[in-house]
Structure 1
């Protein structure tokens, strides 16, 4: 999905929900540099302790 497609889908969803008098909340995160200051081994261990392991840990761009 391209950025244009994602924006169109988001706009369509928001419009639909608002037309039906439903609440809409948007959360946007910029994670581009999020892992620069994080110890990857510690992060992976903490995720594993929370039960997140295996294929669930395959995050694009995360150097494992």
Structure 2
């Protein structure tokens, strides 16, 4: 591989993934739950959000 400068031209840099947000906003959670295809999945997402630590007093949609 040494001495093959033309190979370096073809090499693409690896992009670092962006970190995920720490916590979703109330609007984002509502949109996530509403995007579920049926009530069973909406209920599962609602429970998952509550288990993961939603702030007390936040309305669940």
| TM-score (norm: length of structure 2) | 0.31
- Structure (1 or 2) with the larger CA radius of gyration: 2
> Relative contact order: is structure 1 or structure 2 higher (C-alpha 8 Å, sep ≥ 6)?
2
| TM-score (norm: length of structure 1) | 0.30
